Amino acid sequence: MIRIDDLNLFVRTAALGSFSNAAREADLLPGQVAAAIKRLERELDIRLFARSTRSLRLTIEGEQYLPTARTVLDALKDGREKLRRENEQLQGVLQVAAPSDLGRNMLLPWLSGFRRQHPALTLRLFLSDQVTDLFRDPVDVAIRYGVIEDASYIALPLAPWNRRVLVASPDYLARRGNPLTPDDLLRHDCVLYTLSGRIYDKWRIGSRVLTVTGPLFSDDADVARRWAIAGEGITYKSWLDVSEDVKAGRLRLLMQDYPGEPTPLNLVCPHRKQFSPAIQQLHSLLRGRFAELESGLPKLI
């Protein structure tokens, strides 16, 4: 079995040009370095160095193997650093902005558990359906729907598979019937909400974009979901916002032959320098949790 220390001594000997220099750097005797190289050569069944009394140079096989040895050592180093970051105590203040519905009904318990795991961390959660300005507002990261095209931000995927779905309550469908085509939506009460600062009344269903209407509107997307559950109409929401309601039977999916528009979810921060250990661990946690919800999303037809 190849020893990691022998592999490291091989790389350092190749860089420094002699057993003596590598031994001096590692605080070993030259004979110990030479013995390590011989062990490695036996394991690999190749000769790594051509030796003489005055020189030491890599053989052709040694030159071919050197990049592999470096890659292995780099991977081990990265792994150690990742474990160190994940195991160190998180502290300070982490400020997170998120959409209202997703934040209240899904993120809230996850973030509470994350904070309990890291008692030295202070967590501040800001919920709004308005787009947070990460350069102006007092926020470290934002959880956002949609494709992030602004190169000023770093977008880390959380649920790249997510999309919008049409939903209504069983009570509403019993009273008003089940829409079967996009045009049928024009004869139904659609529950509207604000998206990107304007009323979201243009719904892309399959290859169509329809302007829908309805008697109820709120600037809080969570209210639109609650109205739909109460039987007030049809709403068009992210699968992540309504997945638990669909599973519980409070809402039903409509027109599954007409897929809704893609709505990927990302964790966004201004630049990589702000990608702190707390943000890295939060991203890892959330991506794992959202991945568990993908299996419930109906497949595209």
**Token couple for 105:** 């009904």
Domain positions in the chain are 4-87, 92-161+264-294, 164-254
pLDDT above 90: percentage of residues in the chain:
50
- pLDDT, residue 128, reads 83
* Model pTM score: 0.66
- pLDDT, residue 86, reads 61
Per-residue pLDDT tens digits for 15-65: 888 888 888 888 999 899 899 999 998 999 999 998 877 788 899 999 999
Domain 92-161+264-294 in CATH 2.40.40.20? The answer is no
What average pLDDT does the segment 129-148 reach? 76
Whether the CB-CB separation of 257 and 301 falls below 8 Å is answered with: yes
Residue 63: partners with Cβ closer than 8 Å, 6 or more residues away: none
**Distance (Å, whole) CA 162 – CA 98:** 16
- pLDDT, residue 175, reads 96
Q: Per-residue confidence at 137, pLDDT binned at 50, 70, 90?
A: low
- pLDDT, residue 157, reads 92
Domain 4-87 in CATH 1.20.1510.10? The answer is no
Pinpoint the alpha helices (H) of 177-234. 221-229
- pLDDT, residue 301, reads 42
Per-residue pLDDT tens digits for 246-296: 999 999 999 999 999 999 999 988 765 567 788 888 999 999 999 888 876
Fold match, 4-87 / 92-161+264-294: no
Whether the CB-CB separation of 83 and 281 falls below 8 Å is answered with: no
What average pLDDT is seen over the chain?
Answer: 88
**Closest C-alpha among 132, 130, 148 to residue 266:** 148
CATH class of 164-254: alpha beta
pLDDT above 60 for 300 = no
Let me know how long the chain is.
Answer: 301
- pLDDT, residue 83, reads 67
